[in-house]
């Protein structure tokens, strides 16, 4: 397998894991497994110089759920890069540069294991609360947040500001709820996430959640020079902050991390690590950001907790693409407050490498208190009852075949799990947005009505639902109405809905904007597709191959025949001021924040880069610019002030 193929597989796998974790509060893999896959992808991207358009390195988190109103944060919320050793932490600290006051260099806090939320205050009142979402847009949860007693509804400061913090459940509360019989909750993190994202605020109130603030992302009329100053502001305004806060040099920070790891199980809440930040916020801002992380802060992850159990059986689950993934069913075991009964294995190679068979005693780890991971067999010898890959799909009986490291069902036309997942994807929000159509609905229609392909959705009538449990007259009318409305759709949504391998919503939008019509995309050559920014060899091959496949092309024709009408993409009216140019933005800007300027550059045809090189066309420089400005001067790259940048656009 070449590097690009490996990147393609890693990207698909990581995106599936992220969707499960951030959108469904589920975790089909351990943090340790996710981190290893992510780190491998980062390494391959650095080695090849290629980043796939749907790579998880572009983004943080997942998309907002349709059940809640969308909310755009004033300033983007970032994730944190992470380290697992003292040496890696020292290396990061060295990159932060030297300061004169070593004793006040870093600030150390607990890393709560909960759900990040963003509070907006204006005029001294809490006016909005939202989940982190994808970092730019989150889910509006104001009513739910107001039920959390540690969140003040009013504050002394009357200017507008955003507060980031962690919503969590105390262990004592979890135990009390379980003992009372009111609820049976597995662990505090999932309990908090489920409560804050419940449509009924009464459920949130009953869970007795807590909140701790750790950052002011945006504020009018004030600027903080240090983290200590910012935390003082939060306290002054009645916002609870981390009860543990240590300020010192990196060696003393490392000692405190060791002490915190030892006492973590004495706390009344779960922490899965520590957060280390530069106390000097001006310096931290000057260090800038990667695509996903601020450079002036990092998380130290605690070692995962382990247990042993016995593998009772291994089944094979079939996904939308036909890939069969092995699932280990294990003897129930308690691990970090949860009863573990299943563990996901990556593929058949993973089974062989870890020497896992039926009856094997295995080491199992639950990293970040979310999902178990089989590390290896306790016994180094080969298993007595080895597991072999199925020659036929366990669901439809079709032959299976290996494609690289993964096993696939060859029956893409009538394998129920594949069709179920494809229908659910087709109806999802970013695709055809068929309201009320879930994976359970798809499974019911397949099993009870005999639905076998996507075009048949548009041939359903009220009689099709006759006798189906749970489908009354109103529900039938609603779902048929939603299906009918989806006939008129945006071209990008339609392309995404088709489920072309490696074509996420961003790629669908890019190719739709480029070609403008479905006919143009269907007739596109590989060379034409490669001319689009961020479309590489693999994606181009997948798109061409999809539309050249006779059976798939026939289904597209059938959808059009049944009245599905993708609207041609509107051409942007913005002039391509920066067409073919690469710009780097640095420093603090007053008219628009850095991310807004970068989005504007992209809209005007340019590319916003994170580092300065000889290929950089301009560096847009705000106040307190640091090393990027020095690099631009060293290389002779033209530097634009904020005023000059906007003047160039306006003229």
SS3 218: strand
Q: Give the position of tokens 């995404």.
A: 496
- Give the whole-angstrom CA distance, residue 414 versus residue 395: 10
Q: What residues have CB less than 8 Å from 431, skipping those under 6 apart?
A: 425, 493, 494, 496, 497
Is 482 in contact with 436 (CB distance < 8 Å)?
yes
Which residue, among 293, 292, 294, 285, has the nearest Cα to 622 in the 3D structure? 285
Q: How far is CA 104 from the centre of its chain?
A: 34
Q: Which residues of 396-421 are buried (b: 16+ CB within 10 A; e: fewer)?
A: bebebeeeeebbbbebbeebbbbbbb
Residues in the chain: 651
- Choose the catalytic residue: 111, 301, 323, 628: 111
Which residue, among 483, 406, 403, 399, has the nearest Cα to 441 in the 3D structure? 483
Q: How big is the chain by its Cα radius of gyration, in Å? A: 26
Q: Give the position of tokens 């589920």.
A: 26
Distances (CA, A) of 590 to 16, 220, 379, 606: 38, 12, 62, 21
- Give the whole-angstrom CA distance, residue 547 versus residue 191: 44
Is 14 in contact with 38 (CB distance < 8 Å)?
yes
Distances (CA, A) of 596 to 74, 75, 479: 10, 9, 39
Which residue, among 587, 582, 641, has the nearest Cα to 616 in the 3D structure? 582
Query: Long-range contacts made by residues 280-286, C-beta under 8 angstroms, separation at least 24?
Result: 280/99, 280/105, 280/225, 280/226, 281/224, 281/225, 281/226, 281/227, 281/230, 282/225, 282/624, 283/96, 283/97, 283/99, 285/588, 285/624, 286/587, 286/624, 286/625, 286/626, 286/627
Residue 111 is a catalytic residue: yes
Three-state helix/strand/coil letters over 521-536: HHCCCHHHHHCCCCCC
Is 267 in contact with 212 (CB distance < 8 Å)?
no
Is 219 in contact with 160 (CB distance < 8 Å)?
yes
- Give the whole-angstrom CA distance, residue 186 versus residue 334: 10
Residue 486, sorted as left (phi over 0), alpha (psi -120 to 50) or beta, turns out to be alpha
Kindly state the tokens that stand for 535: 């479309």
Catalytic residues: 111
């Amino acid at each position: 397998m070449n590097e690009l193929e490996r990147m393609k597989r890693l990207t698909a796998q990581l995106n599936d894991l992220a969707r499960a974790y951030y959108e469904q509060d589920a975790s089909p893999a351990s943090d340790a497994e996710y981190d290893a896959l992510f780190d491998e992808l980062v390494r391959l991207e650095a080695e090849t110089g290629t980043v796939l358009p749907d790579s998880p390195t572009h983004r943080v988190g997942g998309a907002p759920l349709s059940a809640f109103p969308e909310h755009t944060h004033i300033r983007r919320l970032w994730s944190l890069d992470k380290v697992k050793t003292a040496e890696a932490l020292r290396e990061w600290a060295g990159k932060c540069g030297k300061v004169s006051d070593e004793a006040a260099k870093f600030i150390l806090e607990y890393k709560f294991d909960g759900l990040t939320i963003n509070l907006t205050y204006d005029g001294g009142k809490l006016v909005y609360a939202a989940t982190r979402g994808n970092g730019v847009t989150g889910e509006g949860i104001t009513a739910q947040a107001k039920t959390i007693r540690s969140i003040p509804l009013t504050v002394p400061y009357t200017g507008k500001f955003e507060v980031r913090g962690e919503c969590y459940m105390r262990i004592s509360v979890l135990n009390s709820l379980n003992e009372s019989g009111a609820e049976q909750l597995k662990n505090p993190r999932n309990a908090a996430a489920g409560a804050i994202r419940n449509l009924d605020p009464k459920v949130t109130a009953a869970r007795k959640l807590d909140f701790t603030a750790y950052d002011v992302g945006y504020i009018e009329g004030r600027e903080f020079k240090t983290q200590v100053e910012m935390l003082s502001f939060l306290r002054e305004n009645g916002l609870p902050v981390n009860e543990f806060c240590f300020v010192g040099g990196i060696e003393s920070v490392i000692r405190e991390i060791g002490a915190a790891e030892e006492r973590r199980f004495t706390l009344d809440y779960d922490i899965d690590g520590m957060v280390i930040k530069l106390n000097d916020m001006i310096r931290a801002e000057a260090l800038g950001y990667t695509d996903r992380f601020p450079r002036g802060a990092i998380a130290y992850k605690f070692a995962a907790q382990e247990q042993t159990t016995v593998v009772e059986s291994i089944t094979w689950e079939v996904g939308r693409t036909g890939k069969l993934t092995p699932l280990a069913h294990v003897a129930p075991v308690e691990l970090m407050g949860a009863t573990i009964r299943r563990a996901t294995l990556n593929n058949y190679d993973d089974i062989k490498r870890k020497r896992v068979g039926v009856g094997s005693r295995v080491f199992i780890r639950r990293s970040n208190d979310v999902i178990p991971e089989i590390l290896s067999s306790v016994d180094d010898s080969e298993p007595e009852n080895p597991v072999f890959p199925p020659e036929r799909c366990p669901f439809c009986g079709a032959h299976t075949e290996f494609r690289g490291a993964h096993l696939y069902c060859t029956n893409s036309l009538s394998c129920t799990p594949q069709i179920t997942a494809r229908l659910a994807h087709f109806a999802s929000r970013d695709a055809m947005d068929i309201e009320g159509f879930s994976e359970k609905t798809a499974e019911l229609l397949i099993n009870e009505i005999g639905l076998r392909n996507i075009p048949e959705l548009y041939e359903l009538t009220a009689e099709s639902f006759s006798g189906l449990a749970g489908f009354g007259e109103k529900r039938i009318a609603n779902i048929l109405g939603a299906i009918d409305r989806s006939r008129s759709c945006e071209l990008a949504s339609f392309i995404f809905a088709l489920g072309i391998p490696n074509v996420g919503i961003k790629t669908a939008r890019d190719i739709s904007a480029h070609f403008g019509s479905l006919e143009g995309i269907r007739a596109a050559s590989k060379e034409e597709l490669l001319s689009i920014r961020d479309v590489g060899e693999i994606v181009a091959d997948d798109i061409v191959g999809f539309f050249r496949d006779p059976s798939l092309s026939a289904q597209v024709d059938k959808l059009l025949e049944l009245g599905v009408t993708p609207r041609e993409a509107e051409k942007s009216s913005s002039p391509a001021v920066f067409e073919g140019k690469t710009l780097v933005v640095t420093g603090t800007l007053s008219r628009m924040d850095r991310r807004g300027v970068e989005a504007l550059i992209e809209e005007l045809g340019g590319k916003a880069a994170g580092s300065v090189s000889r290929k950089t066309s301009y560096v847009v420089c705000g106040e307190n610019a640091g090393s990027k400005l020095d690099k631009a001067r060293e290389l002779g790259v033209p530097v634009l002030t904020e005023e000059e940048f906007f003047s160039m656009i306006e003229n």
